[in-house]
Amino acid sequence: MDTGTGIGTGGALGDIGAGAGAGADSGVGVAPVEPDVSFWVDPDSGAARQAAEWRRAGRVADALLMDRIASRAQAEWLAGPAPRAVVEARTTAAARDGRTAVLVAYYIPHRDCGSHSDGGARSATEYREWIDEFAVGLGERGAYVIVEPDAVAQAIAGCDRVAPAERYALLAYAVDRLERQPNTRVYLDAGNSAWHPDPHRLVEPLTRAGVARADGFALNVSNFQTDAASSTYGSELSGALGGKHFVIDSSRNGNGPHTGTESWCNPPGRALGVAPTTVTGAPLIDAYLWVKRPGESDGTCRGGPPAGQWWPSYALELARNARG
């Protein structure tokens, strides 16, 4: 059973969902409130197009619910060949609006161990070239980059397609190359608090993958663990990594995790979480981000379309269940 994430490839502050002001119960302390970094909101996201379509069809109430997603900054997933043009376009659009793009590098060889989101580069050489192109696209414009969701946690779990030494070397290459770009913040993915419950299992793999040279690590990407659980887990992992900072994906964790089977894959009854912000109230948590794009499928489970495809009914449920 996959206990990781259902990963699809694919604004204004608020308190949608549980977890707003999560620093208060995170176990990582409270920091002075700093000015928020305004992350870029894609005006042509699946949620934005859906809201417009429903307005034209007279589904005004549903369109208003969909605005809860469309008005929030969501990450852009780079999951195919030739990333430079998209990276450059997104960071340029963000810079033009005085905002910061959030991007995901998702092209590691044997990605997702052949599961719902399989794919990626065909060789180590191709991956390094891909990362070089991604970095060139960033230029000097601001961006938060999440590096390879699931890559470390899956290697620990024992994917038979992955040679851990090669994977960690490729991740370290990605971290080092992306960190060379000014105004880019790099966060290496570290799975979620339910996948490897003992965070110390990640210390050596993350270290080999270059986390010491990254701005920090990312937790809960495309998963549903609460902000409080991620904060506690991240604090312990940070302590073992010399005080590294981290970011939390709060896109769909407003109701916490599902307790049934395949809890990672399009689980029912979930809700949007705290809106993207750098005002976290906790000194180790750099931001809450919507890394997973709410409404994009985790895969062909529970009647969903293929991973990364827009699923209006699921998006609507997430928005309807959100508090705020």
Q: Which residues are catalytic?
A: 112, 150, 298
**Structure-block tokens of residue 225:** 């663990």
Rounded to whole angstroms, the Cα distance separating 260 from 269 reads 11
Output the DSSP codes for 143-181: EEEEE-TTHHHHHHHT-TT--HHHHHHHHHHHHHHHHTS
Q: Which helix (H) or strand (E) holds 128?
A: helix 124-138
Rounded to whole angstroms, the Cα distance separating 257 from 310 reads 21
Rounded to whole angstroms, the Cα distance separating 280 from 19 reads 10
* Cα distances (Å, whole numbers) of residue 46 to 75, 221, 301: 12, 19, 20
Furthest C-alpha separation in the chain: 55
Residue type, 7: I
Beta strands in the chain (DSSP E): 76-78, 101-105, 143-147, 184-189, 216-219, 245-249, 285-289
Rounded to whole angstroms, the Cα distance separating 240 from 196 reads 15
Rounded to whole angstroms, the Cα distance separating 43 from 5 reads 27
Rounded to whole angstroms, the Cα distance separating 149 from 259 reads 22
